[in-house]
Chains A and B, each alone.
Chain A
Amino acid sequence: MSILELHHLRKYFATQKAVDDISLNIEKGQIFGLLGPNGAGKTTLIRMITGIFYPDEGEIMFDGKKFDPVNDIGKIGYMPEERGLYKKMKIGEQTEYLAQLKGLSRSEANKKIKEWFIKFDMHTWWNKKVEDLSKGMSQKLQFVTTVLHEPKLIILDEPFSGLDPVNTNLIKDEIYNLAQKGATIIFSTHRMEQVEEICDHIALVNKGRKILDGTVKQVKQDFKEHLFKVSFADQVTPEHLAIHLFEVKKKENKEVVIKVDPGYSNNDVLQYFINKGLRIESFNEILPSLNDIFIRLVGDTPTARQFQEVTA
């Protein structure tokens, strides 16, 4: 069952079609990667999902019902890329305040904060001020304030920026944990290796439009280039490779990367090498990384979106 359905969302600004007819479907418990180059419209899309902006057109369904910002934002946790806290406020009080704004009672908030602070080893921070924290520490605090009210939908925009590897893992484990417990996570980032590691499903947005949507596995399959890495026990000579069955992309002593020509199967290639008397040690398909796919899909668009008058 889907927690969030977007139907033909549109949001135009004076100089940009920020979001131009995007539809999406996000299932409960998914970790969903929302990708796109700078200025693609991700933030605008997220701001509509979090009730900050109203869409010009289209419909948002949240948890099976029409999205009602006033009541539903309590079920959403959003950590924006432009994030921050009140610097002069004490950490305990501030966390309590933010949780109460999400609809928790004071005692409830207090209890949950204590649990999280112990879990993240932050229990000595209660009476400190935010300005006393390092960047990584305040990042952890920000994560806690985002998920404290047990939202059904958690939206994290670049959650790992500024974190060291140890704390990155801590937050990453927590993300898995929350997904396991049934929360849905939308994860927006430019760091493709993190997406590959964490997300099960992705959508790619460019120039306000969705250009790709699917599971990470499926997307990789769709964009595979029939590249194979073959390792041999013997030396490979140029005459071994002179054939119209594949194209050689890379060649080392006992290893080649080939691109199989259209119309031929893997078996044809293996058959050929066996017939040549070469002893094969391994035969692996090279799937494209999300990074490659990302660059291939958006690489040819201008690096900065141009401003133009929109006539809607």
Chain B
Amino acid sequence: MNKTLLIIKREYLTRVRKKTFIISTILFPVLYIGLIFGTSYIAVKSGTNLHVGVIDSSGYFDKGALERENMKDSSSILTLVDLPADSLKKNFKTMGYDGYLIIPSSLNWESSTGQLFTLHTGRTIGIEGAQPVQAKLNNIWSGIKNEKLGIDITKKTILEKNTINLKPQNVEDEKADSGVATGIAFVAGFLIYIILLLYGSQVMMGVMEEKTNRIAEVMVSSVKPFQLMLGKIIGIGLVALTQFLLWIAFVFIIYNVSSAYGSDGGAMGSMIGGVQKVFTSINVPLILFCFIFYLLGGFFFYSSLYAAIGSAVNEDMREAQSLSFPITMLVIISIALMQATMRDPSGPMAVWGSIIPFSSPIIMMGRIPFGVPGTVPWWQLIASMAALIAGFIFTTWFAGKIYRTGILMYGKKPSWKEMLKWAFRKN
């Protein structure tokens, strides 16, 4: 069997068989979904259960109105208190309130300026935390104002619901749905970002392991250093691909199972409706193909650089981190740029960012869901792919030169300058 194939096989099998691979494959989607639901849950939950005592000096707020609001949403409760301000200030805690609020007598419905009251609380609460209480007060307040202005329910609905909304639609790509596209673009770019960093550093650690275990010289007496490096990169790349395909398989299984059993109404039903909408509004095969292409292209581009660094340093993790910092920075800059380009997916920054190889894997994946050729003309896609292929051929060649020298070097950590010298030395 071909030696590079043997190396690929070993690198692949030892990693896929590890428990950590299986666990991370299962855990990542669970954590990812958990994170999304968790943060929104926390966002909703935080600021709840505020029990606020209200002293109304203005005379606008009556018990009935507060009670009605408390009935509608019991997450925070407002209670009208008939006490002097000083004694409420002293006793609100013992009376079971989290805070109190004094509505001044100066409050006037005809005023044309906003009002700022203070919510006095026993513990520190952010602006967000005060939001539910503020919403309740405003509900009551607008009710009062409407009544005074003689606005009835019909007029009120017209005032509130009759608004103008904008939805961008590219004339060259009628099918594109920018809402869905934004979501897909974000998920795809983020996945590539995670995989580049995660598996790039796996390549670096793998090379470092060969150095620390002192097996590097044994290996290069059997195979060429370039074969060793390539085998490792491809092997680990296949691991990343396997993991990604498993995730895709999960999604399809969940989708099919849930559409078979849970299509009747409810949250599940609306989710499936959403997924169906996603699948009809975008070109799934093209996105999937591009995703795999940019995943692998970006992986080869970056991981060979990571391999070069792994070969240059000794067992010291800190050395590796400081030397790989510029490369990690490139990946992080790409994801930061992607968020900017998603707002304007056909602007000059988006176009160039998606053609230059170091950022193209992430930024192009942030543009493609907006539509090909509507947002991304074919020439840009082809130029980007060609540039990425040329880019990773260059980095692999460049890294191979550094790797060959570095893997047999022990001692002081080389500088970037020395590594460049290794790369451009003859033979």
Contacts and interface: CB of A to CB of B under 8 A. Distances in A.
Interface string A32-73: 000000000000000100111010000000000000001001
A102 to B, nearest CB: 6
A87 interface: yes
Contact of B215 (A47, A51, A84, A100): A84
Tell me which of B209, B213, B224 has the highest count of chain A C-beta atoms within 10 A of its own C-beta: B213
A111 to B, nearest CB: 17
Interface in B1-40: 1, 3, 6-7, 10, 14
A245 interface: no
Contacts of B221: 50-52, 73, 76, 78, 80
Given A83-B217, A100-B6, A89 B14 contact: yes
B213 A86 contact: yes
Interface in A72-93: 73, 76, 78-80, 82-89
B373 to A, nearest CB: 47
Contacts of A47: 408
A52 B408 contact: yes
B6 A97 contact: yes
Interface residues of B, number: 23
A82 B214 contact: yes
Contacts of B1: 100
Contacts of B427: 54
Contacts of A50: 221
B255 to A, nearest CB: 37
Contacts of A97: 6, 10
Contacts of A87: 213
A54 B213 CA distance: 25
B87 interface: no
A106 B209 CA distance: 25
Nearest to B410: A82
B95 interface: no
A101 interface: yes
Contact of B213 (A70, A80, A84, A98): A84
Interface residues on A, range: 20 to 34
Contacts, number: 55
B20 to A, nearest CB: 12
Nearest to A100: B6
B220 A52 contact: yes
B215 A86 contact: yes
A84 B222 CA distance: 14
A114 B258 CA distance: 53
Given A52-B408, A89-B14, A82 B217 contact: yes
Contacts of A82: 214, 216-217, 410
B223 interface: yes
Given A82-B410, A86-B215, A98 B222 contact: yes
A87 B211 CA distance: 12
A215 B216 CA distance: 34
B127 interface: no
Contacts of A54: 427
Contacts of A89: 14
A54 B219 CA distance: 17
Nearest to A142: B218
A80 B14 contact: no
A5 B208 CA distance: 35
A145 B10 CA distance: 17
Nearest to A99: B222
B218 A98 contact: yes
A101 B10 CA distance: 11
B222 A73 contact: yes
Contacts of B215: 83-86
A97 B6 CA distance: 8
Contacts of B10: 97
Contacts of A142: 218
Given A80-B221, A97-B10, A98-B222, A85 B3 contact: no
B3 A101 contact: yes
A101 B214 contact: no
Contacts of B219: 101
A84 B408 CA distance: 13
A88 B14 CA distance: 9
Nearest to B223: A101
B222 A102 contact: yes
28 contacts: A52-B221, A52-B408, A54-B427, A70-B224, A73-B221, A76-B221, A78-B221, A79-B218, A80-B218, A80-B221, A82-B217, A83-B214, A83-B218, A84-B213, A84-B218, A85-B213, A85-B215, A86-B209, A86-B213, A87-B213, A97-B6, A97-B10, A100-B1, A100-B6, A101-B6, A101-B7, A101-B222, A145-B218
Interface of B: 1, 3, 6-7, 10, 14, 209, 213-224, 408, 410, 421, 427
Give me the 4 closest cross-chain CB pairs, A-B, nearest first. Answer: A84-B214, A84-B213, A78-B221, A80-B217
